[in-house]
């Protein structure tokens, strides 16, 4: 039985995930303009992940008999003062997304929608990884104090990030 309150929350989350892709694409563009191709690559992969998250929610809304409602996306920030600022914003954004997913999971339990609660467990685990990744890079940036040689070393490290679609997508 579909629960409109949960479907509305899932639609909001879907739109947040789409905005996340837009948000990270702006960061990719910033780093590309700074000739930091490894950082740009990192955010290109991040964008793909956010689009995967959106697709999972899109498919789930349809699966439970809801209707997907897409909303207008606001323009993300496009100018940054430093790589550190970018990762501070990225970490804060991931924390916001985590809070939003936790709220849906909490509501699903209150509404006794155990199917949605189960579906959200993958996202809850994924968000812990997302926050950890952003935090680790941010701590590295603060450690190197954006020294050019340290920045280039980190740029090279970030260029090795590999995109892999979530295993949950293969189960659909």
Q: Is 117 labeled as ligand-binding?
A: no
For residues 9 and 103, give the distance between their C-alpha atoms in angstroms, rounded to a whole number: 9
Distances (CA, A) of 148 to 36, 50, 83, 90, 117: 11, 30, 11, 21, 45
The closest alpha carbon to 126, from 62, 63, 59, 49, belongs to: 49
Q: Is 85 labeled as ligand-binding?
A: no
Q: Is 49 labeled as ligand-binding?
A: no
Q: Is 94 labeled as ligand-binding?
A: yes
Q: Is 93 labeled as ligand-binding?
A: no
Binding residues, by number, are 17, 50, 53, 94, 127
Binding residues for Fe cation, by number, are 17, 50, 53, 94, 127
């Amino acid at each position: 039985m579909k629960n409109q309150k949960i479907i509305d929350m899932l639609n909001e989350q879907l739109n947040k995930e789409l905005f996340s892709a837009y948000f990270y694409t702006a960061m990719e563009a910033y780093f590309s303009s700074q000739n930091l191709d490894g950082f740009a690559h990192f955010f290109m992969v991040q964008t793909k992940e956010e689009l995967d998250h959106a697709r999972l929610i899109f498919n789930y809304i349809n699966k439970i008999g809801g209707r997907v409602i897409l909303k207008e996306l606001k323009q993300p920030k496009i100018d940054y003062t430093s790589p550190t600022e970018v990762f501070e914003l990225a970490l804060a954004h991931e924390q916001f997304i985590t809070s939003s997913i936790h709220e849906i999971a909490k509501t699903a339990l209150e509404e006794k929608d155990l199917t949605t609660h189960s579906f959200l467990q993958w996202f809850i685990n994924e968000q812990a990884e997302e926050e950890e990744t952003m935090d680790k890079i941010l701590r590295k940036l603060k450690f190197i104090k954006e020294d050019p040689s340290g920045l280039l070393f980190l740029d090279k490290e970030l260029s090795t990030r590999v995109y892999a679609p979530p295993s949950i997508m293969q189960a659909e």
